[in-house]
Structure 1
C-alpha cells in the first residue's frame, strides 16, 4: 500500500506541475489509477513473482567490468619480460647482480684497508712499503668504483630503453587488437573502460612499473648483500635472521592479497568515472535543457567517492604494513649490535661494517616488502592490458589465398542464400533465412517496421557481424571467403549519421590521397557542394571540426555523398541516408544518386517511401524475413500487401 500511496502522490505532483488537467479529470484519473493499483497490489505474492522476469546474462547488453582475483599469474610477468626481451631481461638482472657484488666487495675491501696492521702503524708512513701498500688498496678500491659506475650505466641504458619499448609494444598490441575487434565488442563495452586501459593502465606501465622494478632490484640485491655481510662478520646473526625472515614473509603474504585486490577494484571503479564524464560532456545540452545538472554532479561525485574508498583502503593497508616492518627492522638492528658486542675475537673493522649495514637493513627490508607488494599490485595494469590484447577479433583483413580480381565486382549482383544472423551468442537470430537474388545495376528499396532487420542486412553485407548460417554471394564470390579489406573497399555505404573527422575537407573526401584536385572538385559539383567549398577560406584545405561540427547536418551528408562519388563502387548502400536532412537536401541527394549511380546496384533502406517509388523492386521485411519482393506497381495494386498499407499510412495512395 505504501507503493500505491507514493504513485498517487507522484500523479498529484505531475498533474499539478502541468496545470493542464481539470479537477474532475484529475479525480477520475486518480480513481481509475487507484483501482488498477489495488488489483495489482492485492495479488498474491506467488503470482507477482511469476510476472517478474529475472534478467539473465544474455539480456544484459553491458556486463560488469571483469576484475581478476587471487595472485597475479606468472604468465603476466612472463608477458612483460617477453615485451622487454628475454636477453635484455637476463642482461640487466645479471649486470645489477654483478654491480651489487662489486659494491659489497668494495665495502669489505675498505674494511680490510682500514684494518691492515702495516697501515695502522703511522710511524711507517714515509716508507716505500707503506706507500706501495696504500697505493695497492687505493688502486683496487678505485677500480671497484669505476667497475660499479660502468655496470650501473650499462644496466640503466638497457633497462630504460627496453622498458620504454616494452610499454610501447604492449600499447601497440592492445591498440591493434582493439582496432580489429568486432562491432559487438564496442556495443557491449563502455568507452570509459577502453579509455581507462589506454590512459591510466598504460601510464602505469610507462612510468610506475619501470621505476618500481628498478627500486625493487636495488632493494632486493641490497638486502641480500646486507644479510651476507652481517652473517659473514657475525655468523651467530643467522640464528635471528631466519625466524625474522619467516615473519617478514608471513606479513608480506597477508598484506599482498589485500593490497592487490584493492588495486584491482580501484581500477575497475575508475572506469565508470570516465564513462559518466564522457556521457555528461556529450549530452551537456540535454542535461541543461532538462535542468538535471545537479543530479549528474551528484552521480559523478558518488562514483568518485566510491573509487576513493578503495584508494584510501590501499593507503591505509600500506601504513599497516609500515608499522609492522619498522618493528621487525628494529629487532634486526638490535640483534646485530648485541651479537657484535658479545662476540669474541671478531675483526673490529668487520664489526663496524656489520653494524653499519644493520642500520640500513631496517629501511632495506621495509622497502623490499613494499616494493614487492607495489610491483605485484601495479603489474595488474599489465594484466588488464593483456586482457584487451586477447579479446576476439574480426576475420583476417586480407586473405592472400582468395583475393578477388581488381575489377571485382564487375556486375554488382548480390545473392542471399538461406542467410541467418544474430548479434550475440544466446540471442535469437535477427535475420531468419533470407533468400533473394539482386541483379547487377538493379535498384532495390528495403522497407519495414522498426526491428524488421533492414539495417541488419547492410551490416551483414559488410561482415560487421558474421553469419550464423547461409552465405552472401557477390558476382559469384562468397564474401566470407575473402578478406575484410577486400570486401569493404569494393562496397560503398552512405550512412544515416554522416561520419567526418577533424582535418581538411580534402582529407575527409580523399583520406588516402588517391585522386587529383580536379576529380575532387567534380565530385563536389555533383554533390552540390562546390559553391560552398569555393566560399570557404582555404577551399579544399578548409578545416572541418571534430565530427564536422562546423558544418550543418545536410552539408555533412553531402560531403559523405561526394566521398561516395569519388569511390563509385558497383554496389551502393543507402542506410536511411536522408533521414536526418531536410526535404530539399533529400531531393538533391536522390537526384545525384539517380544520375551518377544509374549503372550501379543500389540498396536503399527507405525513410521516406516516396524516394523509392521509382525503384526496380521493393523488399518488405518483417521479423527478420522477406515478406514481399516485387515492383512498386505490383505491390501497390495488391491492396492486401504490407507495402500498400505502409504507402497508405504515408498518404501516397
Structure 2
C-alpha cells in the first residue's frame, strides 16, 4: 500500500494539481468579473458585496474543514474493503473448507457499510454546500434586480440585462470555485507527503572512491568490534557491544530467542541498517568505508523467504547474464533441480510468475540456493534458509551447502537447532548482546543458555558431532 500511495501522490502533483489550480483561478476571475459588471450597472450593489462575501467565506471555511476530514475517513475506510476482498479471494479454498462463507460475507458487508457511511456523509456535505451557495447566488440576483429597479431608468436597459444575466450564472461559478478550493487544499497533502519522502535519509552511496581490491574478500574473516545498532534514534539499541571474530572458512551458528537480534546482525553485515557505534571489518577492510555495491556484491545470502521475480528461470538465476548455460545447469544439478527444469517445455526459459507462485516453496528455496552457488563468495549468510521447507529439502540444502561452501565462512541463523549442531562455533544472542560464544560441545558442558535451548528442542549431547 505504501508504494501505491507514493505513486498516487506523484500522479496528483504531476498531473492533477496544476489542473485544479488553473480551474480555481478561472473561477476566481469569473466571480470577480461578474461582481464588477453588477457593480458597474448598479453601484449600490457594493453595499451588499461585503456582507455576502463574509457569509460566503464562512460557509466555505466550514465546508472545506468538514469535507477534508470526511474524505480522509472515506479513504481510510476504503482500504479495508479492498484488503478483505483480496484476502478472501486468496484464501477462498480455506474459507470453503472450514465452512466460514457466511462469516466472511458478513465481514465484507460490515466493511462496505462503514465505507458507505463515509461516502453518504460526503454526498450530504456536497448537498449542504449546494443549497447555501444557491441561496447566496439567488440573493445576488435579487439585489442586482432590486438596485436596477431603484436606479429607475438611470442605467441603460442593456447594461441592466447584462448584469442580471451575469448574476444568474454566478451560482454555478461560486459552487465550482469552492469545490476546486477544497480540491487544492485536500490534494496539497500530496505535496507535503512528497516533500517528506524527499527528506527521508537515503542509503549510503552505491560506489565510493575507495573500493576494495579485486577478489575481496579472499579469506572471509569477519570481525565485529563493539558494534551497536538501533532502528531509530529514539529507541533502545537492537544490538549492544557486539564483539567477536570468525576464523578463515569457519562455520558459525547464530541462535537466540525471538527478538534477540539474529536477523539484525545479518542486516548490519549488508548495511541494511547503519551502525550507531563500533565497526565491522571483513578481511581487514571496514565495510563502512566502501560503497554498498562493492559490499553487497561480494557477500552472499540465502534468505528465509525465497525471493523470485517475474521472468524466466535463467533471469532469476543470472539476472546480469554473467554465467554460461553450462554453469547454470551445473548449479541446478547441485540443487537437485536439473531434472525438474529439463522436464519443462521451455527449460531455462520457463516463465516464473510473480513471487514464484507457480513453483512450490521447496523449489523456490532451491532456486535461491542455485543462485547462491553461481555467485559463490567467501562469505555466505543463511537467514533461517530452511525454516519454510520440509525436512527432505532441508537435508538437501544443508548437505549442498556443506559440500559446495566448505571453503567459505558461513553464518547460519538457526530456526532448527539441528542445522547448527555441526557448526565450528555457536553464537548465542540474548536481548541484543552476546550471551555465549564457543563450540557446541563446550557450550553444552557449560549448561548455560545453549544447553537450555537444546534441551527444550530435544537434542541430547550424544547427538553432537564430537
Q: TM-score, normalised by structure 1?
A: 0.64
Partner residue of 1:505?
Answer: 313
1:346 aligns with 2:177: no
Give the one of 304, 320, 345 matched to 1:537: 345
SS of match in other structure, 2:406: coil
Q: 1:368 offset after TM fit, Å?
A: 1.9
Give the one of 435, 442, 452 matched to 1:627: 435
Partner residue of 1:650?
Answer: 459
Q: Is the 8 A contact 1:491 1:570 kept in 2?
A: yes
CA distance in 2, matches of 1:296, 1:425: 42
SS of match in other structure, 1:508: helix
1:588 aligns with 2:396: yes
The one-character-per-residue Cα deviations of 1:205-238 (angstroms, maximum 9, x if unpaired) are 6776455444323322122222222333333332
Note closer, same or farther for the CA distance 1:349–1:265 as it changes in structure 2 (3 Å cut): same
Q: Is the 8 A contact 1:574 1:604 kept in 2?
A: yes
Note closer, same or farther for the CA distance 1:296–1:420 as it changes in structure 2 (3 Å cut): farther
Note closer, same or farther for the CA distance 1:353–1:316 as it changes in structure 2 (3 Å cut): same
Note closer, same or farther for the CA distance 1:304–1:403 as it changes in structure 2 (3 Å cut): farther
Q: Is the 8 A contact 1:196 1:274 kept in 2?
A: no
Note closer, same or farther for the CA distance 1:372–1:456 as it changes in structure 2 (3 Å cut): closer
Q: Is the 8 A contact 1:195 1:274 kept in 2?
A: no
Q: 1:418 offset after TM fit, Å?
A: 1.9
SS of match in other structure, 1:626: strand
CA distance in 1, matches of 2:352, 2:87: 23
Give the one of 447, 451, 456 matched to 1:640: 447
CA distance in 2, matches of 1:513, 1:245: 69
Q: Is the 8 A contact 2:251 2:424 kept in 1?
A: yes
Q: Is the 8 A contact 2:428 2:450 kept in 1?
A: yes
Q: Is the 8 A contact 1:329 1:366 kept in 2?
A: no
Q: Is the 8 A contact 1:336 1:355 kept in 2?
A: yes
Bigger shift: 320-329 or 358-367? Answer: 358-367
Q: Is the 8 A contact 2:384 2:412 kept in 1?
A: yes
- Across the aligned residues of Structure 1 and Structure 2, the Cα RMSD in angstroms comes to 3.0
1:617 aligns with 2:425: yes
SS of match in other structure, 1:490: coil
Partner residue of 2:249?
Answer: 441
Partner residue of 2:413?
Answer: 605
SS of match in other structure, 2:131: helix
Partner residue of 2:282?
Answer: 474
CA distance in 2, matches of 1:622, 1:244: 70
CA distance in 2, matches of 1:232, 1:353: 10
CA distance in 2, matches of 1:602, 1:539: 31
Partner residue of 1:363?
Answer: 172
Partner residue of 1:518?
Answer: 326
Note closer, same or farther for the CA distance 1:241–1:437 as it changes in structure 2 (3 Å cut): same
Partner residue of 1:569?
Answer: 377
SS of match in other structure, 2:228: strand
1:301 aligns with 2:123: no
The one-character-per-residue Cα deviations of 1:80-106 (angstroms, maximum 9, x if unpaired) are xxxxxxxxxxxxxxxxxxxxxxxxxxx
Give the one of 386, 389, 400 matched to 2:208: 400
Q: Is the 8 A contact 2:207 2:293 kept in 1?
A: no
Q: 1:565 offset after TM fit, Å?
A: 1.3
CA distance in 1, matches of 2:273, 2:89: 30
Q: Is the 8 A contact 2:251 2:409 kept in 1?
A: yes
CA distance in 2, matches of 1:608, 1:236: 89
Q: What does residue range 412-491 of structure 1 map to in structure 2 within 5 Å?
A: 412-424=220-232, 427-491=235-299
SS of match in other structure, 1:627: strand
Q: 1:652 offset after TM fit, Å?
A: 5.7
Number of residue pairs the alignment of both structures matches: 459
Q: 1:551 offset after TM fit, Å?
A: 1.5
Q: Is the 8 A contact 1:423 1:430 kept in 2?
A: yes
SS of match in other structure, 1:555: helix
Q: Which of the two has higher C-alpha Rg?
A: 1
Note closer, same or farther for the CA distance 1:296–1:402 as it changes in structure 2 (3 Å cut): farther
Bigger shift: 594-603 or 446-455? Answer: 446-455
Q: 1:475 offset after TM fit, Å?
A: 2.0
The one-character-per-residue Cα deviations of 1:216-269 (angstroms, maximum 9, x if unpaired) are 233221222222223333333323333322222222122221222222332233
Where does structure 2 lack aligned partners over 5 or more consecutive residues?
none
The one-character-per-residue Cα deviations of 1:548-583 (angstroms, maximum 9, x if unpaired) are 122222211110011111221221001221233333
CA distance in 1, matches of 2:53, 2:12: 30
Give the one of 544, 550, 556 matched to 2:358: 550
Q: Which has the higher helix share?
A: 1
Give the one of 51, 56, 68 matched to 1:243: 51
Q: Is the 8 A contact 1:325 1:366 kept in 2?
A: yes
Q: 1:539 offset after TM fit, Å?
A: 0.9
CA distance in 2, matches of 1:643, 1:324: 74
Q: TM-score, normalised by structure 2?
A: 0.87
CA distance in 1, matches of 2:390, 2:239: 31
Bigger shift: 551-560 or 389-398? Answer: 389-398
Q: Is the 8 A contact 1:496 1:579 kept in 2?
A: yes
1:372 aligns with 2:177: no
Partner residue of 1:496?
Answer: 304
